[in-house]
Amino acid sequence: MITTQSIADIRAQVKAWKQKGETVAFVPTMGNLHLGHITLVKEAKTRADHVVTSIFVNPMQFGQNEDLDAYPRTLADDQAALIEAGAELLFTPTPEIIYPKGMDAQTFVEVPGISDVLCGASRPGHFRGVATIVCKLFNIVQPDIALFGQKDFQQLLVIRTMVDDLSLPIEIVGVETIREDSGLAMSSRNGYLSAEQKAQAAQIKRTLDKMACSLKTAQSIEAVIAQGQIELEDVGFRNDYLDVRNANNFAVANGEDTELVILVAAYMGSTRLIDNLVVKLA
């Protein structure tokens, strides 16, 4: 696997592959890779001739009081895992390479509406940072397809909308959330949890499953959310949001919807965890 910080190197390699008529899949990451990322790379390999990945802890998507500096950087381990998974090219730019003029003097991409609710409301500017970096990385790598985890449901929707709105010729693939045996969704932020907090955090999936059952038995959405909030608080979570939305257009769910998504963000100590579950009612 070639690791490079150079935009020109990435472009030259991808161009050489494309000139031979070969296809390219892309998995952008912020590093500190876990089985969720590795699953994306393996899935990418089944869908294209070559897999390109990136590791870039994107400062533009972190708020002022968030964990940018503390975010784990584990390049050597990540490289080993990517080689094992079959990636051929890894882009590891610095912030200076990506934002040479500085972030505030940089053109940005903003997807209106869905960027402002839930995670977007709790983390103002977050999805502008995500859309901008993903758009830039797409323009650097120029992949045929790109893969993202469904754990970041709202992020996936923001990226799909951006690709659609800007007519980017890239197929976006969402890959199912990978979970620990306890049900806890894999995340780089799980590394901040103590063993005890990790055990408590497994309640998220149990609550999502229970809420899904309750929604299927036609209980009122408000009552289901209220019950879910109590369950999470009982094991020590401080809830950021717990909501039920239309899984396709992200509108607040109503009694007519047949495909819903339950979305949660909650703090265990100072660690903010997110998860979601799609529920089909029909």
What residues are labeled active site? Answer: 37
* By CB under 6 A, residue 140 contacts ligand PAF: no
Q: Which is nearer to ligand PAF, 47 or 189 (CB)?
A: 189
Q: How far is the CB of 29 from ligand PAF (least distance, A)?
A: 5
Among 25, 30, 90, 274, binds ligand PAF (CB under 6 A): 30
Give the footprint of ligand PAF on residues 31-70 (CB under 6 A).
Answer: 58, 61
Q: How far is the CB of 188 from ligand PAF (least distance, A)?
A: 8
Residue 30 in marked binding region: yes
Spatial distance between the Cα atoms of 24 and 44, rounded to a whole number of angstroms: 9
Q: How far is the CB of 59 from ligand PAF (least distance, A)?
A: 10
* By CB under 6 A, residue 203 contacts ligand PAF: no
Largest Cα–Cα separation, the chain:
58
Whether the Cβ atoms of residue 191 and residue 259 lie closer than 8 Å to each other: no
Among 43, 78, 144, 152, binds ligand PAF (CB under 6 A): 152
Q: Which helix (H) or strand (E) holds 82?
A: helix 75-85
Q: How many CB atoms lie within 10 A of CB 282?
A: 5
Q: Which is nearer to ligand PAF, 190 or 229 (CB)?
A: 190
Q: Which is nearer to ligand PAF, 103 or 281 (CB)?
A: 103
Contacts of residues 98-102 at CB distance under 8 Å and 24 or more positions apart, as own/partner, are 98/56, 98/58, 98/133, 98/136, 99/59, 99/60
Summarize the annotated binding site as residue ranges: 30-37, 61, 149-152, 155, 178, 186-189
